[in-house]
Amino acid sequence: TQAWVAIISLFYMWIYLVAELTSMGNLIASMAGLDPLHALLPVSIATMLYTSLAGLPASIWTDRLQGVTMTGFIIVTVIACFSSLKVGNGEWRSVATWNDKGFESFVTLIFAIIGAGLFDMGTWQRVYAASGPDTLRKGCAFGTALIFP
């Protein structure tokens, strides 16, 4: 039984990794015009190294860092949207066009997000890392309170 769980977990993580990297690669190629390998390879190697060396604490730390970074980006975006930002008709036309690559990236990203939500191994790592049932209950309650205020 444990062998099957391990095989299924590895298969899922492989599919998730491929979907995530494909989505990022498509976005890098379409938005920056770069070869996706030039951006994805260094990020993938760095992620593999710090996760291999530091394990779960590194994963939790980088999740926190991503949360703080995204909060900062949201604040900057809101300020930009409500400031004296003016977008002309030409700019709107250039970004509001149908693009097969954009749709492909959208679909890939949706599948990656759905897969991550259904089988997120990070959640289970944190469950198994809890020091006991009380810690797990408190962590779940706190996390739920943050999501659903």
- 129 class by beta-carbon count within 10 Å (0-12 exposed, 13-18 middle, 19+ buried): middle
**pTM of the predicted model, to two decimals?**
0.51
- The pLDDT tens digits of the residues spanning 38-69 come to 888 988 898 889 888 988 788 888 889 999 99
Show the tokens assigned to 124.
């289970």
What residue type is assigned to position 138 of the chain? Answer: K
- The pLDDT tens digits of the residues spanning 72-81 come to 999 998 998 8
